[in-house]
Amino acid sequence: MLFNGNMQLLGLIGDPVAQARTPGMANKILQERGKLGPYVFAPMHVSPNNLAGFVAGIRTMKNFCGAVVTMPHKSNMALLVDELTPEAQMVEAVNVIRREKDGKLVGTVLDGEGFVGGLQSVGHTVAGKACVLVGAGGAASAIAFSLVKHGCGSLYLLNRTQTKANDLAQRLREAFPGIAVSTVLPNDQAFDIAINATSLGMKPEDKLPMEEALIDRTSLVAECVIAPEITALLEVAKRKGCQVHTGVPMLSAQMGLMLDFMGVP
């Protein structure tokens, strides 16, 4: 691949980014499309207190096409772009942005469809299933809306900050009247799918994102953390005899969609 002045820049905005698989996967897809060279995808390590300044800078960068947005910037990025798709407005977060030729930034969210698509790619379905979702941030919100959109039977939201779980539950009820959503976990129910949509599991010292008692009552335990691929949560779930689902299919299912949104032919 030759670097030259005509190259168009794509990126991953996050903190940290060293562990991310997105750049490697994106550049592989660019190569498969015959676009690696005219386009290149790079990691962009941006701390939260510098995000607004970074966004102001990329508005002026004429060869910047767009970026994937990852933790912890998904909710704040939704406040900094100029336009949100209907999905991003509903979720109040973005995980990919596109720069228009005039510098306008447009954001959307594909985490939810990526998660459901990743499950479907290995033979799982959410229709009619009793689901538990841990987290209420940008990725969790997107996944919650997609679970309901694809017909989950019931959805239980757990979050360290109860007010955020309550807010997400209210937004779901407004968007999908009649949906069975709760922020209180019943003590005597079995669950089909339990999902970690927090960042817990990225570091070896992280505590488990859900209680082992919940894992004991769950058939399938799913992750959104991508690195490490097998987190401590999935290790525990496997040891208890649960089916497990890593975070990699979620990213794979949405990577092509992200490049499309950023304008890569």
Dihedral angle sign, alpha carbons of residues 251, 253, 254, 256: positive
Name 198's bridge partners. Answer: none
- DSSP E strands, 70-119: 83-84, 96-99, 105-108
Percent helix, strand, coil in the chain (nearest 5)? 40, 20, 40
CA distances 43 to 9, 16, 40, Å, are 11, 10, 10
At position 104, the amino acid (one-letter code) is K
CA distances 255 to 25, 27, 67, Å, are 8, 10, 11
Whether 238 sits among the annotated catalytic residues: the reply is no
d(CA 108, CA 89): 8
For residue 134, give the 3-state DSSP assignment.
strand
Phi-psi region of 178 (alpha: psi -120 to 50; beta: other; left: phi over 0): left
- DSSP E strands, the chain: 8-14, 39-45, 64-69, 83-84, 96-99, 105-108, 130-134, 154-158, 181-182, 191-196, 218-223, 243-245
Dihedral angle sign, alpha carbons of residues 91, 93, 95, 97: positive
Selecting among 35, 74, 164, 207, the annotated active-site residue is 74
Q: Catalytic residue positions?
A: 74
